[in-house]
Structure 1
């Protein structure tokens, strides 16, 4: 903050303290990593410990030098890159001459002076501490040493993962503000660099390169159309928007879509009152992928998840950011930990004014693992909407239909198998949403509101025939007083990513920034759906589908009259979308 004082002065002064306070957990986490090796080696000092003194001095020298180097280099690279140093810097090792040339305008002498000072003062302090403590070591019996080894090794897990919460340490743990610089200041540099190395965010090699890049891009862009459809099903004006994201809401359990009857009676009834989209596919197989697909219209990656890398999500378009720019208030509600899968950093970047999560609810309203039950969060959401500045764009994410499927109501779907518990949890969430909609209809803001209910992803249960895309088939329903037409069924084949463009066009807004989103009502659109799973992808067209295994390079599922050219289209889409991910 001192080095980039001009940016620091743009923040309220109390943000300086907040950045330090929120960053402490990541500092402690990395300190835990550093202390693992010395702690474990201490278990072998029961006979002799003079060697351990030498090790501590060498270890302190090496780690202090590396950390001081990272910190001082980060100071200037942040000015050029706009984010904290990560393993992307390894690319410069391939061209050291260009790297040195790029540093010509940097105050190299001043930076090196800072690095030497940090290294000198830190190493001096460590050696002073070692000089006072290491002489106190005494030989221990092998049994006590082994016991110490076990206890110490287990104890470091807690600070390393950042505490006892469900989500382990990630950038979201220290992000706390819409101000990017305040969040970046809270990040621990060596932790960030190590995390980047582990997750290989520096790697720009596309493993899904099937065609020349220009050919793949041409085939992919041919699937999109920029025309704005004339069909308008939503009232004009500044309409309130609610996006309700339903955990694991697979079409396989929706009776009105041909799924199991009796699991979602409330949704089946509401489908008669709104606009039901019957042929929508999730872009990915996890919540973190679905969140970005829904809010940013961005396709999922097979082996990565863009939401876990804040430097990549920072420049993604998003619905909350778009509505915020147009004067809407924005909020995100979730009964669990928003730090999970690094979601909170993404929500802050996308300009949600208010984030309500597990910390806003009483422990008595929690299940044993994830957080507050769905009806509790929906009731809080309903109450807050009465006081929300209008127009608003608010999002709510349910959680009760996630494993372990714990619900605070009597069992309706009998049975103790995982599938029965899953169905029972979905039935509970269905009732909670039905109660929410019934209450919302009595509110004055309902007549000017559009409610979108959509799943974050599908689910393997109930079990279906392997090699079919039904696991990714999800419902989407539009409700609210802002609808001009009700009782409609839209059977167009589309993707979860298409919500962004469709919604914005219905409200008379531009979707130019959402290049991976295709308006469902565009009569000129190419009807397709792409979905990614762990190292594989599915490609769905009106005439059929295919599912490709990226590891074996073979088709593991196929149905309908789908020609070989469609496999090339699917590969081109994967190559281009993953290339876009790598380039961000």
Structure 2
């Protein structure tokens, strides 16, 4: 069994053997995890009681992708070092050092594998403590690793001992049987004139190994890279953790550690943010410091407001339906309300005069995932990698769809693009959506044929939305529904179904974006006109909001500005709201409009209730390294990595002067608010303390 290449042309067979060692090792860990927890899982998780064998086999099969990705961590450094020594072999002066270096790398790899093996044992045991593999906890529990290992030996001595012996025995056996690892090299080992094959391998091997490692770690050549969230597709924690490995989770979580920066002691942080969010509703559980209860609300006719009362009168169907239209890259810059000509978005501008328009509304992040997550959970997303792409999306959230489902609502999400992007296909059901329709569902229906780069055009997506809401209403007219539709045409490369929508000339540097904006506005107007004919329209509140701005050719304030339009003529008179608000405010606002009378945990405010000094928080944007706060006509930025900050004017016209010296007290206040707010969100995310496992109504 050759575990080190004698010559460069033997490199790839040796690496295949090491891959086999790694895969067998990972399989051993997975089988031990299965043996330790499967019986408990079948007993405690009802979904496993029927078809447990098929579910387990499927999870083991899916886990192969994560094993291959984990190989790049287990074997990758060793493979890369061997490939570099192979390249040295092409240099005559370096050939004498070739075997010595390989021998050193072999022993380093043995120690590395042993270490990763022990970490994996601890990760397997961690499932019995925290219900998951090690991730961010690895850094927090590093000093406690011996305790975790000892706990694993005490809890399950036989499988843990077998694992503890597996890698040393396996690699040690290979070491002793490989006679070619002797210190003295044979004549062939030090051959002064290597053949062309050996030289070609020596030159190409680093590039080949590097490309292979990248492909394996990203899970293949598909558009979306493999992510921890891809393993979290089941309601069973056992099955989800059976698919993935602790090593893979640790690497992903440690790469996000900049987002979990700590500025203040935990107790001080909690008290500060609770004061920020204080609206008279008490926080009810120290373990879940966001948890509050909203009193029963009833609508005040003609105003976008609610007052405390006995709840909505009449039957359950008096609760309003909600339709949230999430508009891709719908920058407020091009709207009439923000000083632009009416020709880009004539339909939105018309509707704005008939609804409640928030003129100072801001995105909570800079990407679609940030906006979607903030709206649905009331929690700000990370400045770096979105929670939707991490395993934390399967934390407990008191999300808007889940809260509304408890009040009798049906839930629907429709998108013309690929729902696998940003883990929407697995994350959205966890957040409470019972019905999903994306590009695949639209394609399978056979009703739509117009495709572009991002999927189906907005008109067709809206048609699917109408068909689905018709089904929900026809199937249970007594039950309200919450439907969300996510557009795509305003996304780069700015698709148009017909050249007639290209009303701006190519000489206009923003023509491509404005033309797609115009088409998206056309589809929006068409949708609203059809909804107005539906039997459920009189009892429906439509919210039109962007996911984020389009980031191009915008000043720092425009980069945050997006519209919120509440369109419900049978509920509210037209109104222009000028108070500061943001996407985080939508969860408590819709919960209030649904009648309140519910627990909730969100970091936004109820927009139907006046606020003395409203603010809007954001994390990420054109620059993903920033967090910030808008209040009192100013915008404050803090850069997470460099720890720099800047205070700018938060009204038009913008001014690039840093005003911290002119407004020192305000700068200090906004700095504290920004850092406390972000730390609080990330701390609760990390510790899974946003929403309790069970809650009394």
TM-score by length of 2: 0.71
* Cα offset, 1:502, TM superposition: 1.0
Take 2:577 and 2:179, find their aligned partners in 1: how far apart are those partners?
A: 75
What whole-Å deviation, never above 9, does each CA across 1:410-461 have from its counterpart, x for those lacking one?
1222227663222222112222222222233333343443322211122334
What whole-Å deviation, never above 9, does each CA across 1:320-374 have from its counterpart, x for those lacking one?
1212333433232333344444555532421322333344354964433x43333
Partner of 2:452: 367
Q: 1:52 to 1:186 in 2, by over 3 A?
A: same
2:550 touches 2:559 (CA, 8 Å); kept in 1? yes
SS of the residue 1:531 aligns to: strand
Take 1:194 and 1:475, find their aligned partners in 2: how far apart are those partners?
A: 38
Take 1:272 and 1:473, find their aligned partners in 2: how far apart are those partners?
A: 19
Q: Which moved more, 1:428-437 or 1:496-505?
A: 428-437
Matching of residue 479 in structure 1 with residue 567 in structure 2: yes
* Cα offset, 1:214, TM superposition: 6.6
Structure 2 alignment gaps of length 5 or more? 1-33, 181-187, 283-293, 305-311, 652-658, 686-697
Take 2:153 and 2:169, find their aligned partners in 1: how far apart are those partners?
A: 28
* Cα offset, 1:89, TM superposition: 2.5
Q: Which moved more, 1:512-521 or 1:154-163?
A: 154-163
Give 1:16's match in structure 2, choosing from 56, 75, 80: 56
Matching of residue 249 in structure 1 with residue 321 in structure 2: no
1:274 touches 1:480 (CA, 8 Å); kept in 2? yes
Partner of 1:115: 163
Q: Which moved more, 1:325-334 or 1:305-314?
A: 305-314
Map residues 115-514 of structure 1 onto 2, 5 A cutoff. Answer: 115-116=163-164, 118-119=166-167, 140-200=197-257, 205-207=261-263, 213=269, 216-217=272-273, 219-222=275-278, 231-232=299-300, 237-303=318-384, 305-311=386-392, 314-362=395-443, 365-368=450-453, 370-388=454-472, 390=476, 391-410=480-499, 411-415=502-506, 419-464=510-555, 466=556, 469-479=557-567, 483-510=570-597, 512-514=599-601
1:225 touches 1:518 (CA, 8 Å); kept in 2? no
* Cα offset, 1:505, TM superposition: 0.8
Partner of 1:85: 134
Partner of 2:29: none
* Cα offset, 1:507, TM superposition: 1.0
* Cα offset, 1:92, TM superposition: 2.5
Take 1:383 and 1:425, find their aligned partners in 2: how far apart are those partners?
A: 24
Q: Which moved more, 1:494-503 or 1:409-418?
A: 409-418
- RMSD over aligned CA atoms reads 4.0
1:330 touches 1:392 (CA, 8 Å); kept in 2? yes
1:330 touches 1:352 (CA, 8 Å); kept in 2? yes
Q: 1:385 to 1:36 in 2, by over 3 A?
A: same
Take 1:125 and 1:384, find their aligned partners in 2: how far apart are those partners?
A: 62
Take 1:339 and 1:35, find their aligned partners in 2: how far apart are those partners?
A: 29
Give 2:616's match in structure 1, choosing from 503, 513, 529: 529
SS of the residue 2:67 aligns to: helix
Take 1:424 and 1:125, find their aligned partners in 2: how far apart are those partners?
A: 67
What whole-Å deviation, never above 9, does each CA across 1:75-131 have from its counterpart, x for those lacking one?
32112112221131332334679x469949951524522423654786599889999
1:545 touches 1:558 (CA, 8 Å); kept in 2? yes
* Cα offset, 1:295, TM superposition: 0.7
TM-score by length of 1: 0.84
Q: 1:582 to 1:254 in 2, by over 3 A?
A: same
Q: 1:103 to 1:36 in 2, by over 3 A?
A: closer
SS of the residue 1:386 aligns to: helix
2:125 touches 2:152 (CA, 8 Å); kept in 1? no
Take 1:32 and 1:404, find their aligned partners in 2: how far apart are those partners?
A: 34
Q: 1:416 to 1:162 in 2, by over 3 A?
A: farther
Structure 1 alignment gaps of length 5 or more? none
What whole-Å deviation, never above 9, does each CA across 1:361-393 have from its counterpart, x for those lacking one?
54964433x433333322222222222354332
What whole-Å deviation, never above 9, does each CA across 1:215-272 have from its counterpart, x for those lacking one?
7346524477677676546986343322221111121111244334211112122223
Partner of 1:519: 606
Map residues 558-573 of structure 1 onto 2, 5 A cutoff. Answer: 558=649, 564-573=664-673
SS of the residue 2:600 aligns to: coil
2:131 touches 2:237 (CA, 8 Å); kept in 1? no
Matching of residue 30 in structure 1 with residue 48 in structure 2: no
2:121 touches 2:149 (CA, 8 Å); kept in 1? no
Take 1:35 and 1:496, find their aligned partners in 2: how far apart are those partners?
A: 44
Q: 1:125 to 1:95 in 2, by over 3 A?
A: closer
Matching of residue 7 in structure 1 with residue 88 in structure 2: no
Take 1:82 and 1:173, find their aligned partners in 2: how far apart are those partners?
A: 17
2:404 touches 2:591 (CA, 8 Å); kept in 1? no
Partner of 2:7: none
Bigger Rg, structure 1 or 2? 2
1:539 touches 1:567 (CA, 8 Å); kept in 2? no
SS of the residue 1:15 aligns to: helix
SS of the residue 1:22 aligns to: helix
Take 2:339 and 2:494, find their aligned partners in 1: how far apart are those partners?
A: 23
Take 2:105 and 2:628, find their aligned partners in 1: how far apart are those partners?
A: 53
Take 1:129 and 1:392, find their aligned partners in 2: how far apart are those partners?
A: 68
SS of the residue 1:453 aligns to: strand
* Cα offset, 1:497, TM superposition: 0.8
Q: 1:426 to 1:127 in 2, by over 3 A?
A: farther
Q: 1:61 to 1:104 in 2, by over 3 A?
A: closer
1:72 touches 1:111 (CA, 8 Å); kept in 2? no
SS of the residue 1:323 aligns to: helix
SS of the residue 1:321 aligns to: helix
Take 2:120 and 2:590, find their aligned partners in 1: how far apart are those partners?
A: 44
* Cα offset, 1:536, TM superposition: 3.8
Q: 1:351 to 1:156 in 2, by over 3 A?
A: same
Q: Number of matched residues?
A: 574
Take 2:104 and 2:489, find their aligned partners in 1: how far apart are those partners?
A: 50
